[in-house]
């Protein structure tokens, strides 16, 4: 019933997630102006970027590639918050595809993407894992596989948002496990996260995967906070 959808779009038009302007034909989630205003990191142009240096100093990390700079009250924050707190799962898949397309066109390849898991209690409350949405979009654009079950979170942690750096590290220590190590060994693995701040959660994830002899491990994030 295309006529009905056209009518609904006229009466209740889709609006831009960032500026709330009515979306034009061919636009999705963001208007063209806000899409061009995205604070891109361009990490794909420099394999030894500052994000990578943060983790490679202590871990054998192949790549660390974030798509956006997380800016408070900016477009990137609105995307993250819509995905994480307002059930807009499609924006996660869409942003994952945007990032994945850039990476694919630049020549980056991975065998398997593993989203950072939520604990079962938080997953039940939220109803979905925001990192799954991002991984799904990334995998589609990168033409590779992803799994929501190979990484498991055993411990429910308190929110990291208002914690000091030292508290964040203590909060996530030893909370992840790999459920099927045979699926990790000898593969180019990429861990997928929504927003990386201090890096405490990601560091723990990376160490859990590195224990099972992957060919390489990389990090793909939707956004990275300013301190990194």
Query: What was the pLDDT predicted at 173?
Result: 55
What would the pLDDT profile of 98-140 be if each residue is shown by its tens digit? 999 999 999 999 999 999 999 888 888 899 999 999 999 999 9
**CA-to-CA separations, 53 to 43, 48, 49, 56, 223, in angstroms, rounded:** 12, 6, 6, 5, 16
Query: What was the pLDDT predicted at 201?
Result: 84
| Cβ–Cβ under 8 Å, residues 103 and 67 | no
pTM, to two decimals: 0.86
In sequence order, the β-bridge partners of residue 40 are 68
Query: What was the pLDDT predicted at 8?
Result: 37
Query: What was the pLDDT predicted at 170?
Result: 44
Query: What was the pLDDT predicted at 168?
Result: 43
Beta strands in the chain (DSSP E): 64-69, 112-115, 145-146, 151-153, 176-178, 188-196, 216-224
Query: What was the pLDDT predicted at 124?
Result: 86
Q: How far apart are CA 187 and CA 213, in angstroms?
A: 8
Q: Over pLDDT 70: what percentage of the chain? A: 85
Q: Which domains does the chain have, with CATH numbers?
A: 1-37 (no CATH), 38-224 (3.40.50)
Which residues, given as ranges, of the chain have pLDDT below 70?
A: 1-13, 155-173, 227-228
In sequence order, the β-bridge partners of residue 146 are 113
Beta strands in 86-207 (DSSP E): 112-115, 145-146, 151-153, 176-178, 188-196
21: enclosing H helix or E strand: none
Query: What was the pLDDT predicted at 169?
Result: 37
Q: How far apart are CA 187 and CA 160, in angstroms?
A: 30
Please count the helices (runs of H) and the strands (runs of E) in the chain: 9, 7
Query: What was the pLDDT predicted at 14?
Result: 85
């Amino acid at each position: 019933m295309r006529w009905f959808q056209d009518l609904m779009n006229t009466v209740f038009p889709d609006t831009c997630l960032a500026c709330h302007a009515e979306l034009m034909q061919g636009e999705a989630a963001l208007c063209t102006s806000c899409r061009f205003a995205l604070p891109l990191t361009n990490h794909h142009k420099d394999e030894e970027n500052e994000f990578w240096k943060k983790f490679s100093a202590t871990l054998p990390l192949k790549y660390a590639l974030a798509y956006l700079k997380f800016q408070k009250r900016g477009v990137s924050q609105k995307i993250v918050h819509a995905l994480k707190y307002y059930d807009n799962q499609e924006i996660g898949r869409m942003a994952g595809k945007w990032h994945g397309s850039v990476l694919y066109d630049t020549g980056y390849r991975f065998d398997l993407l593993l989203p950072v898991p939520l604990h079962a209690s938080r997953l039940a409350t939220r109803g979905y894992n925001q990192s799954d949405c991002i991984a799904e979009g990334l995998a589609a654009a990168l033409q590779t596989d992803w799994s929501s079950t190979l990484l498991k979170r055993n411990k429910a942690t308190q929110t990291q948002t208002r914690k000091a750096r030292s508290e964040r590290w203590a909060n996530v220590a030893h909370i992840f496990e790999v459920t099927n190590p045979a699926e990790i060994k000898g593969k180019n693995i990429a861990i997928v996260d929504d927003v990386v701040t201090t890096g405490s959660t990601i560091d723990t994830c990376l160490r859990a995967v590195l224990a099972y002899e992957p060919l390489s491990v990389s990090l793909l994030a939707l956004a990275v906070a300013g301190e990194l």
